[in-house]
Structures are given as C-alpha cells and as structure tokens.
Amino acid sequence: MDEWKDITTYSQGDKERIPSVYEFTIGGFRVAIHRHMDYEKDRWLVSCDALRINKIKLSNKDIEKAKLEGLQFVNNVLRNYSLLHHPIEREIEKLNTEKPPFTEKQK
C-alpha cells in the first residue's frame, strides 16, 4: 500500500526531530511536501521532479491538509497533460498515413 514517508534528514545533534519532508511515491512519480529555508518557517511546498514541479507554495499550514492540496495540484497537472494525449495521437496517426514528400531520386 502506498503511504507517506518522512524522509527528513536530521543532524545527530537535533534534540527535537520535527519532520520537514514527506514523500509519496506512486507509478514512478515522487511527490514531496516539504519546507524550504527560502520560505516562511511554517510554509509547506509541493515538488515533483518528474513533472518539473518545484517548490510550489501551498496555502495550508496543517501537514495533512497540505498533503491533500499538494496531491490535488499534481493531479491537476497530470490531467492537463492527459488533455494533450488525443491531439498528439491524432497528429501521429495523420503523419503515419500521409505519403512522404517526393525526394530528388523519385522524380
């Protein structure tokens, strides 16, 4: 079963271990809900390298709500990509059925 994992790296001297990176992997996609030092301390972000999603700010400060918001964002990106599938497929089919242009040797 797929589940979220805390993949935060901690220093040995950390007295308090507060998670700052959660990862969810499905179908080869790694989705991370994380914090980053360039943002507010309580700001959650979403990243997914496979989709070139990098440090998108999430509005929820609660981690469980941020996980949901992050997955919804990734899902919307995937949905937009899937809308391109049919036009691309039609163009491939069209190119496969068209006769190639004449070359100099065929004249």
pLDDT score, position 99? 67
Q: How many domains does the chain have?
A: 1
Domain presence at residue 29: yes
Could you tell me which of 36, 45, 38, 35 has the C-alpha nearest to residue 66? Answer: 45
For residue range 4-15, list pLDDT tens digits in order: 999 999 888 888
Residue 81 in any domain: the answer is yes
- Predicted pLDDT at 102: 62
Amino acid in position 95: L
Q: What is the pLDDT of residue 45?
A: 98
Q: pLDDT of 21-37, one tens digit each?
A: 999 998 888 999 999 99
Does some domain include residue 104? Answer: no
Strands (DSSP E) found in the chain: 5-6, 21-26, 29-34, 45-48, 53-57
Asked if the structure places residue 31 within a domain, the reply is yes
Q: Which domain holds residue 73?
A: 5-9+17-97
- Cβ burial 6-27 (10 Å sphere, 16+ → b, else e): eeeeeeeeeeeeeebbbbbeee
Q: What is the pLDDT of residue 26?
A: 86
Question: Which pLDDT tens digit goes with each residue over 53-106?
Answer: 999 999 999 999 999 999 999 999 988 888 777 788 888 888 888 766 666 665
